Structure 1
């Protein structure tokens, strides 16, 4: 049975400038933020199977006052070590999903955040990200990641990783977005990245302005929901403030 641990970096608002600003649910008011700001969680996941420790997307890359990366501390709190992570699966390369893939050591050298993991990157998304750049992508960080020896390239419309993780090109939120389904034989864990980012979006039918192809993303959510209900998927919601994991009824 797969074990699932949300690795929250906190709640933020994000506006048209794509800046993520911390938000205190007890003291802040959404109406005080810029017009059109969205309230989101930034929440990678750790999925533990018999074969792997898998991190799904990597957050903004924040560190605490002690200098320890928050994603490392969260994994330790779950009872594991970041050094034991074997796979990092990236749905796309927007900065709020890749800020935590690299870190600087005490000497200022940039190195992978998870030294013993392979980073799975969809090759067309890497090409698109480097070509497109700011504000959604940070090319210098992506180039640094791609220059490491830890990259495992994914190609084609779909494929299988180690015989139990399926990736599929979806292309709704951004043109080269992909989604993952982890099937360890007892659980099916679905990670839709920013095409299934919140539970409420699986229940409401609407076109989101922040998606590259809003109508396609809406149709994909409906597709994911139908298949997930039928097969009992556990959905992981990267941007959901209250419900990180759910089985749809």
Structure 2
């Protein structure tokens, strides 16, 4: 098995929304905001080469949205999905599985491409796309608060292509011999967290359970979360498990840090070490 970091660029989101009830005077120490109160965030994905399968976990925001939409998120940086894949010797056509932790646009927007005639087609033409029935239903019939994050053009063409596959919502279900799937329900319904056995270590892909190192303290819960108290309880469980078992956490949105480990301190659970995936 081999793992590769896939950087798809940076975007910006409101700092207050990203840190919920935590005051700006505190969170800006780790995630400084610009003059518009926007903080920079990564859209960092993970490529897993496991036997004859090449699995891409999430795929960023994509490029098919119009300028009016994209200007709200200030996409920047030199990295793209295609460049990152090419850097490791792959192309989109090599991907066999697209694993979607959840269907918010910044995690699944790259799933679908818009052709010149406006037709929407899978960006990974040789891949199956993986979600779960519970989250899929949640996304295609969204609540009023969350529906701006579930864009039909990112989601429905997957099903129409015949490439959509579902994973059973059983915590710890196997995806491959080396990957099992954990579930979380606070950020959005039935978000999937891949837990990967790699070089004798356990890597937990955190998706939006833990966007960045700056979110490690327990009260640091995003306003984007549908059920913040549930997130708080889930976060406590997962972070305590990570400390006890020395998990490596892969961070999708941290603008600086790819991976971290945790430790127990007098102030609670805090970061222990940060490092790149390639250093494992």
Shorter chain as normaliser: what TM range?
0.7 to 0.9
Deviation of the 1:98 alpha carbon: 1.1
Aligned with residue 138 of structure 2, among 128, 134, 142: 128
SS in 1 for 2:149: coil
Deviation of the 1:185 alpha carbon: 6.3
1:82: which partner in 2? Answer: 92
Deviation of the 1:4 alpha carbon: 2.7
Aligned with residue 214 of structure 1, among 223, 228, 236: 228
1:39: which partner in 2? Answer: 40
Deviation of the 1:90 alpha carbon: 0.9
Listed one character per residue, the Cα deviations across residues 74-109 of structure 1 (whole Å, up to 9, x for unaligned) are 211222222222221111111111110011345543
Deviation of the 1:212 alpha carbon: 1.3
- The alignment covers a number of residue pairs equal to 231
1:8: which partner in 2? Answer: 8
Q: Which runs of 5+ in 2 are unaligned?
A: 19-31, 65-78, 263-271, 273-280
Q: 1:181·1:190 contact (CA, 8 Å) conserved in 2? A: yes
Q: 1:6·1:44 contact (CA, 8 Å) conserved in 2? A: yes
Mark the CA change 1:197 to 1:15 in structure 2 (over 3 Å): closer, same or farther. Answer: closer
Separation in 1, partners of 2:116, 2:34? 41
Separation in 1, partners of 2:113, 2:55? 18
1:94: which partner in 2? Answer: 104
CA RMSD of aligned residues (A): 2.7
Mark the CA change 1:232 to 1:53 in structure 2 (over 3 Å): closer, same or farther. Answer: farther
Q: TM-score, structure 1 length as denominator? A: 0.81
2:211: which partner in 1? Answer: 197
Separation in 2, partners of 1:59, 1:14? 18
Q: TM-score, structure 2 length as denominator? A: 0.73
1:71 matched to 2:85: no
Q: 1:197·1:240 contact (CA, 8 Å) conserved in 2? A: yes
Mark the CA change 1:140 to 1:85 in structure 2 (over 3 Å): closer, same or farther. Answer: closer
SS in 2 for 1:42: strand
1:26: which partner in 2? Answer: none
Higher strand fraction (1 or 2): 2
Mark the CA change 1:228 to 1:16 in structure 2 (over 3 Å): closer, same or farther. Answer: closer
Q: 1:62·1:70 contact (CA, 8 Å) conserved in 2? A: no
SS in 1 for 2:193: strand
2:165: which partner in 1? Answer: 152
Separation in 2, partners of 1:192, 1:42? 12
Q: 1:172·1:213 contact (CA, 8 Å) conserved in 2? A: yes
Q: 2:12·2:40 contact (CA, 8 Å) conserved in 1? A: yes
